[in-house]
Chain A
Amino acid sequence: MDELILAIEECDLSENAVCAPENVNELFEFRTPIIEILGFPITRLVFLIFLAGLLSVAIIYFGLRKKATRPGKYQLSIESLMTFVRDEIAIGIIGPVGIKYYPYLMSLFIFILIGNMFEITPFINFPITSRMAIPLFLALLTWVIFIVAGFKRNGISYLTGIIWPPGVPVALKPLVGLIEFFSTFFVRPFSLAVRLFANLVAGHVMLSLLLTTAFVSISAFIAGDISAVKGLFGIAWWALALAIFMFEMIVILLQAYIFTLLSAVYIDTSINVEH
């Protein structure tokens, strides 16, 4: 993030159209720790991860604390969110057994939603899900859960049911088995993580570059360093950034939904294996 500030200071609008640091990775790295606890440097990123965890616990705790018969607005919204995850995702996809996985899916949904929301929250402006560690960890958690659920429910026939779907000719069994094994146990968790990660990276890069450029060009225009036409460009960048803000709101909701939905679908395919 320090490099982004450097990029703002060194940005020369007469040469570049958009202010950007040398390497895009700089937008996602925080090197200077805020404090150090027991030798662990707490950077801004670590702080935000803990904040997201605490917030997701707090939101559910305060939403369900009173359980009033006539719920207020806050309790109502939390409850309808939980009902949505329970009825549409857990029970809707997995079936009646899905109620067992509902707490996991709910915490996944809330945590990813808050982590994504940080992207457009003023003064935070950094989606923690745009660091590969978070989506990858969540995807691996889903991976472990669907494998354990499959073996627990179907025994060893889970493996054969997954890698040989019904109706495969004997001659094709080795090939199909290899492809299905690879796609179920390797591609699935990877693509689940990458989907969330890449969407948030793209959003963060777009927003930060556009807003930086808009800020630099508008402030240079006010200081009188550049012509009025270029100042107008700054306003255009800013308007575009606002439009992308709106678009990112949809992406944030949709990605949290899709991650939870796909986790449910993967659990469902390992519980209800076709024999």
Chain B
Amino acid sequence: MEELKGAFSLIGYGLAAIGPGVGIGLIAGNAVQAMARQPEAAGMVRTTMFLGIAFTEALALIGFVLFFLA
């Protein structure tokens, strides 16, 4: 069991990265669309995009930390 731990934590991190990956893609894509449609709102959209990315990314980062802790 002990030698499988590393492999399991790698798989766990991979699984944890799927959701945030999709989420960040959606956020960035929609932000680009919003900026293209309304260039004058680009600054506001960019700030909100970073916020959204930061919140979404947290899940992947918790997986990353657990990968090291395991």
Residue numbers of A with Cβ under 8 A of B are 24, 88, 92-93, 191, 194-195, 197-199, 201-202, 254, 257-258, 261-262, 265
Contact = CB atoms under 8 A, between A and B. Distances in A.
Contacts of B50: 254, 257-258, 261
A265 B54 CA distance: 12
Contacts of B57: 195
A261 B64 contact: no
B65 to A, nearest CB: 6
Contact of A195 (B47, B61, B68): B61
B62 interface: yes
Contacts of B64: 198, 201-202
5 contacts: A24-B68, A88-B47, A195-B58, A198-B64, A261-B50
A197 B65 CA distance: 9
B51 interface: yes
Closest 7 CB pairs of A and B: A198-B61, A191-B58, A258-B54, A198-B64, A194-B61, A195-B61, A198-B65
Given A261-B47, A261-B50, A261-B51, A199 B61 contact: yes
A257 B61 CA distance: 17
B51 A265 contact: yes
A116 B24 CA distance: 23
A193 B50 CA distance: 16
B54 A194 contact: no
B51 A194 contact: no
Contacts of A93: 47
A261 B51 CA distance: 8
Given A194-B62, A195-B58, 18 more contacts: A88-B47, A93-B47, A191-B58, A194-B58, A194-B61, A194-B65, A195-B54, A195-B57, A195-B61, A199-B61, A201-B64, A201-B68, A257-B50, A258-B50, A261-B47, A262-B51, A262-B54, A265-B51
Contacts of B47: 88, 92-93, 261
Nearest to B68: A24
Interface string B19-53: 00000000000000000000000000001001100
A198 B57 CA distance: 11
B34 to A, nearest CB: 18
A27 to B, nearest CB: 11
Nearest to B57: A195
Nearest to A262: B54
Nearest to B53: A258
Nearest to B61: A198
Contacts of B55: 191
Contacts of B61: 191, 194-195, 198-199
Contacts of A198: 61, 64-65
Contacts of A201: 64, 68
B68 to A, nearest CB: 7
